[in-house]
Structure 1
Amino acid sequence: MESTTSEIAIDCAPLLRVYKDGRVERLLGTQTVPPGRDPKTNVESKDVVFSQETGLYVRLYIPKGIRSSSQKLPLLVYFHGGGFCIETASSPTYHNYLNSLVSEANIVAVSVDYRRAPEHPIPVAYDDSWSALKWVASHFGGNGPEEWLNCYADFDKVYLSGDSAGANIAHHIAIKIGKEKLDGVNLVGIVLAHPYFWGKEPVGDEIKDPAVRAKTEEIWRLASPTTSGSDDPWINPVDDQSLASLGCTRVLVCVAEKDLLKHRGWYYYEKLKKSGWGGEAEIMEAQGEEHVFFLAKPTCENAVAMLSRVAAFMNQDKA
């Protein structure tokens, strides 16, 4: 008799499969690379555990030449994507992207590792990300446990960013900062790359095919089994009145022409401008590109242009 270990309970290929015995098989985002000095950019990185309770870590990045400078640099806190279910801060995809971004923008970066669904369903990813940010904020007086943050990070110029599910997290963390504040963090702006937002009813020219929409909701339900559905504020925050309380003064939304989620990014941008929020919003659309293309094809023309735009966004207020 065949063991239940080989019987699939939930098939969310190409992301992952869940078997009837509870085993989770991730099909993407399983590779990891160690931190260190990147030979292309001379960016340095290292991993630091921020929670002894969970063993979760952040990967810290500093640019070339910072050790010989007394200047403190803007600080980026980055949340990786992967539908809340795959990828890590140690993924070569994210490691390479952060090396390039830190070099291009001349910033300090913190890439957050959070516990993933389905083993750790929503809202664990948000809670872990908030815990990581609180740990980062503990360094604002220069007396935190990590030397790189004490010495090199400018806590008056903090940015949040992420792609896909990570962009979703960045939005919700910025809302939380707007409502609760976080001592030591002056959140200037957020960069939402191809944000993973959804909703029950299509917006704009968003795809209406019931099968496609059902598949998208299935992935969300895997991450959040107790969800109320596609209009759950975690996945559809746009119609929530709290948009006006976003805790930063600048937002850059990046979308891609051929991305299923493009219309949600535009919808977020338009609603944010009308919400009563007092900041400045920008949007950038990459023509002819798919979801998170800039991670898959980092040297293509559109990815290089996007990297430059994001770097410029974080340097606009540099002294």
Structure 2
Amino acid sequence: MESDLVSEHPPFIRIYKDGRVERLTGTETIPTSLDKTNDVVSKDVQYSREHNLSVRLFLPHKATAGTNSKKLPLLIYIHGGAWIIESPFSPTYHNYVADVVTSANCLAVSIQYRRAPEHPVPASYEDSWSAVEWIFSHSDGSGPEDWINEHADFGRVFIGGDSAGANMTHHMAMRAGKEKLDPKIKGIAVVHPAFWGTDPVDEHDVQDREMRSGIAQLWEKVVSPNSVNGTDDPLFNVVGSDSDLSGLGCEMVLVAVAGKDVFVRQGLAYAAKLKKSGWKGDVEVVEEEEEGHVFHLQNPHSENASKFFERFVKFITTP
């Protein structure tokens, strides 16, 4: 009943007194397919028995023919959805990653992680790192999953994500640097990253108190209620905190922002902070001034989405 509603956070979730969580979007799933008449074959493989979590693997069907033993670039993808909704199995992410695999001729591993509010942050970060470690256990060719053993080029590993997934992509690269992950990650694609803080990063950042408060409430009440510093938690406030980015564990970073996205100034400030940090890699910024948050997923066949798609594919096929 409506009276049993504790809180509502459109367009994401409703939370009820009995603890039930109703997700308002991102709940549909699409099955895998080993049908080799498709451009891409896919399958789900469990990487965490403890939490019953899987990755969805995508492989160009021509790679399964066995006629070409050349290793493929490896894309590790972390989906967005405010840490609350969506999954690697939803049509949005299944179709997008499959299209990338077709165009880039790469192997992709799309990560499932535990979501808030049932599993508040940092569960999603811990799961994503666990998946990265599981994937890298194949780097010597003797891991548990044949597709990764046989096809992944661990000299060309890229991690990419959008929104909350872009935030986590950054933190995976930071942890990779800290823990000296070997082989090294070649590049990360941070697309419309969900970075935030109590205060605006500059005079062009969102000044509207109600909007800032709404984002803060979602983080503090739903996503990460255990954060000591609220929205200034270094996991969320990457730009405004004293986080040292110089140890980022990759060679190159693509930062994509959209001019009409609430997070645009945070994304630009992140790129600027990274360039000034002493980190030795290359940073490229791509901006679509007339577009909004994750426009490339919401309208994937638009002209600007197609343009960004080509840039993303070019990034993850860097030799």
Which category of TM-score, normalised to the shorter sequence, fits these structures? over 0.9
Give the structure 1 partner of residue 63 of structure 2. 66
The question of whether the paired residues in 1 share the 8 Å contact of 2:188 and 2:250 is answered with: yes
Give the structure 2 partner of residue 233 of structure 1. 234
What does 1:144-183 align with in structure 2 at a 5 Å threshold?
144-183=143-182
Question: How far 1:166 sits from its partner (Å)?
Answer: 0.3
The question of whether the paired residues in 1 share the 8 Å contact of 2:47 and 2:55 is answered with: yes
What does 1:30-49 align with in structure 2 at a 5 Å threshold?
30-37=27-34, 42-49=39-46
* CA–CA separation in structure 1 for the residues paired with 2:36 and 2:144: 27
| Residue type of the alignment partner of 2:103 | E
Q: How many residues align?
A: 313
Q: Spell out, residue by residue over 1:14-73, the C-alpha distance to the aligned partner (whole angstroms, 9 max, x if none).
A: 111111221111001010001115899611110001111111000001113212211001
Normalising by structure 2, we get a TM-score of: 0.95
* CA–CA separation in structure 2 for the residues paired with 1:266 and 1:96: 28
* CA–CA separation in structure 1 for the residues paired with 2:3 and 2:138: 47
Give the structure 2 partner of residue 77 of structure 1. 76
| Residue type of the alignment partner of 2:28 | Q
| Residue type of the alignment partner of 2:286 | M
Q: 1:56 aligns with which of 53, 58, 62?
A: 53
| Residue type of the alignment partner of 1:279 | G
The question of whether the paired residues in 2 share the 8 Å contact of 1:41 and 1:103 is answered with: no
Q: Spell out, residue by residue over 1:160-190, the C-alpha distance to the aligned partner (whole angstroms, 9 max, x if none).
A: 110000001110010000011223x320000
The question of whether the paired residues in 2 share the 8 Å contact of 1:16 and 1:25 is answered with: yes
SS of 2:181's partner is: coil
SS of 1:249's partner is: strand
* CA–CA separation in structure 2 for the residues paired with 1:83 and 1:38: 33
Q: Spell out, residue by residue over 1:126-153, the C-alpha distance to the aligned partner (whole angstroms, 9 max, x if none).
A: 0000111111011111111111000000
Give the structure 2 partner of residue 7 of structure 1. 4
The question of whether the paired residues in 1 share the 8 Å contact of 2:184 and 2:249 is answered with: no
List gaps (5 residues or longer) in structure 1. none
* CA–CA separation in structure 2 for the residues paired with 1:168 and 1:263: 14
* CA–CA separation in structure 1 for the residues paired with 2:35 and 2:175: 34
* CA–CA separation in structure 2 for the residues paired with 1:260 and 1:311: 25
* CA–CA separation in structure 2 for the residues paired with 1:77 and 1:312: 15
SS of 1:134's partner is: helix
What does 1:208-287 align with in structure 2 at a 5 Å threshold?
208-221=207-220, 222-227=222-227, 228-238=229-239, 239-287=241-289
Question: Does residue 25 of the first structure (1) align with residue 50 of the second (2)?
Answer: no
Q: Spell out, residue by residue over 1:268-291, the C-alpha distance to the aligned partner (whole angstroms, 9 max, x if none).
A: 001100011111000101131111
* CA–CA separation in structure 1 for the residues paired with 2:272 and 2:37: 38
The question of whether the paired residues in 1 share the 8 Å contact of 2:36 and 2:61 is answered with: no
Question: How far 1:316 sits from its partner (Å)?
Answer: 1.9
* CA–CA separation in structure 2 for the residues paired with 1:40 and 1:281: 39
| Residue type of the alignment partner of 2:83 | F
Cα 1:149–1:17 change in 2 (3 A) is same
Report which stretch shifted further, 282-291 or 122-131.
Answer: 282-291
Q: Spell out, residue by residue over 1:286-307, the C-alpha distance to the aligned partner (whole angstroms, 9 max, x if none).
A: 1311110111111111111111
* CA–CA separation in structure 2 for the residues paired with 1:41 and 1:271: 43
* CA–CA separation in structure 2 for the residues paired with 1:50 and 1:16: 27
Q: Spell out, residue by residue over 1:98-144, the C-alpha distance to the aligned partner (whole angstroms, 9 max, x if none).
A: 01111111111000000000000000000000111111011111111
Structure 1 vs Structure 2: percent identity of aligned residues? 49
The question of whether the paired residues in 2 share the 8 Å contact of 1:195 and 1:261 is answered with: yes
Question: Does residue 101 of the first structure (1) align with residue 103 of the second (2)?
Answer: no
The question of whether the paired residues in 2 share the 8 Å contact of 1:175 and 1:242 is answered with: no
| Residue type of the alignment partner of 2:277 | S
* CA–CA separation in structure 1 for the residues paired with 2:237 and 2:37: 39
Give the structure 2 partner of residue 300 of structure 1. 302
Q: 1:192 aligns with which of 186, 190, 208?
A: 190
* CA–CA separation in structure 1 for the residues paired with 2:312 and 2:38: 17
SS of 1:161's partner is: strand
Question: How far 1:154 sits from its partner (Å)?
Answer: 0.5
